[in-house]
Structure 1
Amino acid sequence: MVRVLNAQLLMAVDRVRQRPFPQWSVGALGAMILSSGLLATSGCKDLIPPRPPIGQPAAETEQIERGETAESETVAETDPSPQESFEGDWGAWYVHRFGSQVVGVTEIKADAVIDGIDFAAATEARYSRRERMIFRTGNASFVRRITLTSVESVDGALRSFSSDVHAGPISSSARGTRNQQKLTVTTTGEGGQKSNQLDWPAKTRGLFALEQTLRRRGIETGQTRRLSVLMPSLQSIGVIELRCTGAASVPMLSGSYRTLREVDVATFQDGQQVDSLVVWIDDQGVIEKSLHLGLRLESFRTDRVTAGDLFDQPDDGKVAFSVAGSLRRDADPTEVAYVVVDASRSQDRPESEAGSKADPAAAEFIPAVAGQSVRERGDGVHVLVSTQRKAPAGFQQDRSVVLPIDTAATEIIDTGHASVIRMAGAIGELPVGDLAQELARLVQNDLALIPQGDLRPASAIVRSGQGGAIDHAILITALLRARQIPARVVFGLSRSRTDGTSAGGPSAGDRLRMNLDAWVVASIDGEWISIDPISSRINRADQIGLSRPAGDADLSRELAKVFRRLAEIEIEIRGASYGAD
């Protein structure tokens, strides 16, 4: 199993919470995340092993490229920038390694843009980067995906860029357009759309500045070069400083050594160094390896096939969660007892408040929904999920009442759309319980299962004929409402069939993999039942609901809230019963 990056190092939670898009390093590789708190280089000497000098060191010289910015004045003298011409079409694949484990992959491309009408010489170049990187936050792990495109003049002047970031179920984008001496940046995320204008001094470079300058001009031993660049936050201008220290014998991904030129790269913001990177280049200025000192993250140039073999994540839209304990893989449980702990919540709640009676506060933290009942205890919230909807004394059951919105249309659950009504009418009149299950089977049979993307209206899911697990839940909910069966979407964790536990029973120290998921709850003859959107099973016990949004809630926003909560909670399986027990 691929090991994931520690979120305390990467600070993924802060980025997801505080920014509409994560940061990435200037030009080099998306894996290199900027943080002023990650500059310590102690402990990295094992990644840059001692090696004999190769050749004689040259006298240090400076080459300075700058705009009229306060940042560049703190580290560079005024000096005109030499002209750089487009380096030609190229492409490169990189794998990112943390310790001995590959945790990500990046593809970078550069192409000349040819006028398709006049077939004139290229005046623009298009750069693109696609990155996938595994992040871990608490017991949750997910693949962050970045797609970045930059259109520039052939001499390196930024004209426009676009950035799309997906971190679990959270998506954001940024668009930038330069007009003379101004750069307008528009970001779109959970907080809506925002625009900002930056002063854009002459000679300022874009997000691929490092690759460009090394491939176009190279750098010789002893040289220092400074570039005024757009910072990865897309909100300010900074400076990167390149200093070539000479030839070095460098360990590569295959275990062999190559003689490459070593270049130290420092990034400055407001006169303060905020990032540190080492890159090793060949004679053509191609980056063959890089090392982010603060993160201890190595990146190696490779080919597409090797990158795909080393980083195999077929469904990178999933969010996985590690649970203490395990379940049998050869049988479906009829009851599972969980304990859920939120450290921040426990600190705020006195021990005396955790009594033996059913506690409404427990249901506010973990909902009592369908076959799931809850109670508060000193060691956390006890959750019992039963296929038979059993609730022992002291547990709070699902007592929620049906509301008019539970059969009404919303923006996502557009139950009144003609395509949804038509699909719902494909099943004839049946007892309400049988009808609910047949509608779920209809979706299961008619909808191809694909990796989950951004949430879409039910009608769009019908038209596409395919969708992720959450799409299945949305469509089933819409069909049920179209037949006047009250229904809602629930978000929580479901057991993954690739959880890695042993068949036949748990073993000491096992952990269970669960996935962030969604399913449907429907009111049948006055009682709420849960319906699994993929298997159509009723009242699964190997899942735990974390949120039951209101019938008219913004589902994308509610899903993002659940995703963030995963960083704060721990879940343990205390026991399970099976049909033959």
Structure 2
Amino acid sequence: MLRPNQRIAWMISFGLIWFGCAGCPAPKPAETSRQNPEKIKSSQESWGAIVLQGEKIGHTMEKIERLTHDQTDYVRTTTVEQMQIQRAGQPLKMAIENVFLSLPDGSLKQFSTKVDQAGSVTRFTGQVARDGKTLSISTQGGSSQGVANDSIPWQPGYGGLHAVYRLFQEPPIEAGQKRSAMALVPTMNRMAKHSIQGQEKEAVSMLDGSMVTLLKTKYLTEIEGQPPLESTAWVDEVGEIVKMTSPVQNFEIYRCSKEFALSPNKAVSFDLALDTIVPVDRMPQRNRDELEELTYEVKLKSGDPAKIFASSSNQKVTAIDANTAKLRVWRIRPDTKLPAELPENDKPTDADLASSPLVQVEDPAVQELLRKAKFSGANATQQVMLLEKFVHDTIEEKNFSQGFLSAAEVAQGKTGDCTEHAVLLMALLRAKGFPARGALGLVYVDYGEKKGFAYHMWTEVWMGDRWLPLDATRGKGGIGVDYIKVTQTDLSGSGAFAAFLPVTQVIGQLEIEVAE
């Protein structure tokens, strides 16, 4: 069966590779215990093809094992998603692996997740406490594979992959039925309410051109603090998903044979970087860097931009209707007076200064770079501007072939795109004592035939009473009004990748124009 919770993992993956991500070998099963061997009672394996523009670009595999250990029954669910796609003309491979161990009723006991980003591996492992009230999660990331530990509140009935599977199959969902369960979202490592609603049967086209009658279902995932995610799944008479759609750029997944799933992928013309550029009407073409303010009108085909785009740092979002908002952006510098209309800045947290598996403040390579930066006689403002330019000059090879590398890996390899510039600048600023975080959004670009807003990541540093935006990919001493922020992140702990979710809900949905 194709697993609906996989669809959120794809969305996070797509978000990562728009800013950076990548590939994996076979997953390691979650361990029940080393003392007594487990007994496998049954094992079921299924395969799927990930399709874009009618061509297979990757595959999924899932295995469901029912086993017994210490006289207790368990269900172990293993999923693998792999794909290859093009970003800025360069091929990128990516994969996510999950191994979840649950009780037959869906209650989660432990899990492991692996995300391989072009050789940079991030691993998450989680264990539910004996009293069922806490899920402890360990995160390993970067070349140093340092470990960070945190936990999230839990309840004994909360589940994982198997809990969502049961919504569709135990018993098979029927038209008019509604079901829901609380379950962990893989990769994001956050709890969500998963709801399905059986709709009507309809004829569905398959990869070979045939038509199959399937039950259409609406699948909704609601994570606290995030806009709800909605997608469509078509199921057969036993509740197995035969076809799914992702709201991101029309990716689809079809149930298929293992032979077809593992067959060579096809190249597609779609480019994640170039073909997602959002055109904009009436964009000023001269002296944009000098503009103090610019107002945009942003519209989403599905969703409310006032609930997705951030009102913070240097921009304010005001709703116009359910799908449209006015977005005012200001050019902020350390010495400029903050506009009265700008929302009060949220203060930095401890995480904005801390080391993490992606922002290794204390890593030797990061510390060595900090020693090379020349701060002699510089005040605080000059220091942050110096670091922005220093990172711009330090990353010698500007390319899109890397995944989302950690700060330590960037410090060692000195290569990457906007994510690598942003994360290294975050680490150096924190190492120097400045609270810093990442900003995710869009920046205006002019590639000749391609003009518009491209998805981008930059850095924000706390300076006295404001978050000051910096962009080490350009190294110009701050940013202008041709940047639009969707959200921000401290990239801390097990939920670091959750910050990319709002961006995935914008991609392929957004229209922008400069307000008159």
TM-score, with normalisation over the residues of structure 1? 0.43
Bigger Rg over Cα:
1
Comparing both chains, which one has the higher relative contact order based on Cα–Cα distances under 8 Å and sequence gaps of 6 or more? 2
TM-score, with normalisation over the residues of structure 2? 0.48
